Amino acid sequence: MSDATNYPVLYRVSVATELRQAPGPAEKAMRGLPADQVLVLVGEPGLAWLEVEAPGGQRGFAPAAMLRRQVEGAKAPQ
């Protein structure tokens, strides 16, 4: 059995939103995040905003209310 701590923490976009340069709705949007997009948590979990990495390696912040945590031990998409 593999150790779940070796896997990234994944979140799935539940409602389409935007990846932003910094936490906050007034910050510059870098790209859209469609519903069902899988993101990798790269920062510490926050209450309102999460620092994430989108497919392709782009990092930014997404509103936590629009994301749902995936099952622990899941593998990030290739």
Q: For the segment 5-50, what is each residue's pLDDT rounded down to a tens digit? A: 578 899 999 999 999 999 999 999 999 999 999 999 998 887 899 9
Q: How many CB atoms lie within 10 A of CB 47?
A: 7
Q: Is the pLDDT score of 52 beyond 60?
A: yes
Lowest pLDDT segment from 17-21, 43-47, 53-57, 61-65: 43-47
Q: How many CB atoms lie within 10 A of CB 67?
A: 23
Asked whether the beta carbons of 77 and 36 are under 8 A apart, the reply is no
Q: Where are the chain's structural domains?
A: 4-69
If you compute the radius of gyration of the chain from its CA atoms, what whole number of angstroms results?
12
Asked whether the beta carbons of 67 and 50 are under 8 A apart, the reply is yes
CATH fold group of domain 4-69: SH3 type barrels. (2.30.30)
> What is the token pair recorded at 23?
């936490």
